[in-house]
Structure 1
Amino acid sequence: MPFEPASAVLRTAGADGWTLVEPLTYVGSRERFVVPAGFVTDLASVPRPVLWLVPRSGRYTLAAVLHDWLCTVGIRTGAVTSQQADGVFRRVMREAGVPVLLRWLMWAGVRWGALADAERRPGWLLSAPGVLAITVLAAPLVLPPSLLVVPGLLVYAAAERLVSGESGVRPWSRDPG
């Protein structure tokens, strides 16, 4: 495994966050990245309607922590571009043994996320053909179950609102309000 240590020690940091307790070093064939202790990650940033397919953690957890760091500190410092960060993410998932379809779906997901983020958007069009192809191919597999999940999340939010009296419950977020 190209990570030192081979596992991460994390501490909860709020509803959606995890704090890295010890530094995490990735040593690839071409680069070396050190995610420092104290870095806060949300692990895999997965939209709630597709958590049935991609949980927030799995074989890709260390890749997700590295990706979060690359997409914040790495881009800001010029160590990588957004497109490079996403490519490293996909490669590290391959090295971690993440199945082919899952890693390409996750790569497409982070590229879509880049489109929605002004800091990560530059260069998005270069990957657009691949992202669109994967999205079109995956849609028949991913959309039907996800579309069933969304009404369930909405019903849950309504029930939670009735029971708790809170008006700020958002079923698509782990953040309480």
Structure 2
Amino acid sequence: MTAALVKFPRSLKTKTILGQDRALLLAAPFAFISDTHGRIDLPTGFFTDLASIPRLFWRVFPPAGKYTAAAIIHDFLYANQSTEENKSDNILLTRAEADAIFLEAMEALGVNWLTRSTIYRAVRMGGGGAWRDNYSKRTGLPYPSKPSARLPDFYRQRHVKR
């Protein structure tokens, strides 16, 4: 049994959304089993825009490729800031953890080292804006600032739950 079959126990089934560039909905539940975070289940109907790669780089790294399933998992983690559907205003997974799961999923899919390293580094450098935007979309609140002398425990106590 290959690593991809063990790590991705369900096959990926999607539907395109007409009139939207690079937009897909999951047509069936999808899952990934992470070594560090266990099983991550995505529901039918989850929306993804695949790998959010700037158009300039599409010749080398198209939005869909061998890493498509990993990109969909990553979109789910960024949207929920958790390994499961998250309706609260708490962040249950750090951005670094979400990006590490993305790297793990790409490796399980057999994405070559250069491609997965490049995409991972790009996500680490450029994913912060999407992470903050997703928090605001999900909660309707501004993204919390880092701890300060005035509010040293606000970020840790309210927004990173373990």
1:90–1:25 distance in 2 versus 1, CA, 3 Å:
same
Give runs of aligned pairs for residues 158-173 of structure 1, distance below 5 A.
none
Measure, in 1, the Cα distance between the counterparts of 2:130 and 2:42.
22
CA RMSD of aligned residues (A): 2.1
What SS class does the counterpart of residue 88 from structure 1 fall into?
A: helix
Task: Give the number of the structure whose alpha-carbon radius of gyration is greater.
Answer: 1
Runs in 1 of length 4+ with deviation above 4 angstroms?
none
Instruction: Verify the 8 A CA contact 2:25 2:47 in the aligned structure 1.
Output: yes
Please tell me the residue identity of whatever aligns with 1:72: A
1:116–1:29 distance in 2 versus 1, CA, 3 Å:
closer
TM-score (norm 1): 0.62
Contiguous gaps of at least 5 residues in structure 1: 123-177
Please tell me the residue identity of whatever aligns with 1:101: L
Measure, in 1, the Cα distance between the counterparts of 2:92 and 2:46.
17
What SS class does the counterpart of residue 111 from structure 2 fall into?
A: coil
Residue number in structure 2 paired with 1:112? 125
Q: Is 1:103 the counterpart of 2:107 in the alignment?
A: no
Superposed CA deviations along residues 116-166 of structure 1, whole A, max 9, x for unmatched, are: 3462799xxxxxxxxxxxxxxxxxxxxxxxxxxxxxxxxxxxxxxxxxxxx
What SS class does the counterpart of residue 81 from structure 2 fall into?
A: helix
Q: Is 1:8 the counterpart of 2:9 in the alignment?
A: no
Q: Is 1:70 the counterpart of 2:74 in the alignment?
A: no
1:9–1:117 distance in 2 versus 1, CA, 3 Å:
closer
Q: Is 1:22 the counterpart of 2:35 in the alignment?
A: no
Residue number in structure 2 paired with 1:46? 53
More helix by share: 1
Q: What is the percent sequence identity of the aligned residues?
A: 31
Greater shift, 46-55 or 111-120, is seen at: 111-120
Measure, in 1, the Cα distance between the counterparts of 2:92 and 2:130.
18
Please tell me the residue identity of whatever aligns with 2:14: L
Measure, in 2, the Cα distance between the counterparts of 1:80 and 1:116.
16
Instruction: Verify the 8 A CA contact 2:13 2:27 in the aligned structure 1.
Output: yes
Measure, in 1, the Cα distance between the counterparts of 2:35 and 2:72.
19
State how many pairs are aligned. 121
Measure, in 2, the Cα distance between the counterparts of 1:22 and 1:107.
27
Contiguous gaps of at least 5 residues in structure 2: 134-142, 145-162
CA shift for structure 1 position 70: 0.3
Residue number in structure 1 paired with 2:95? 82
CA shift for structure 1 position 36: 0.7
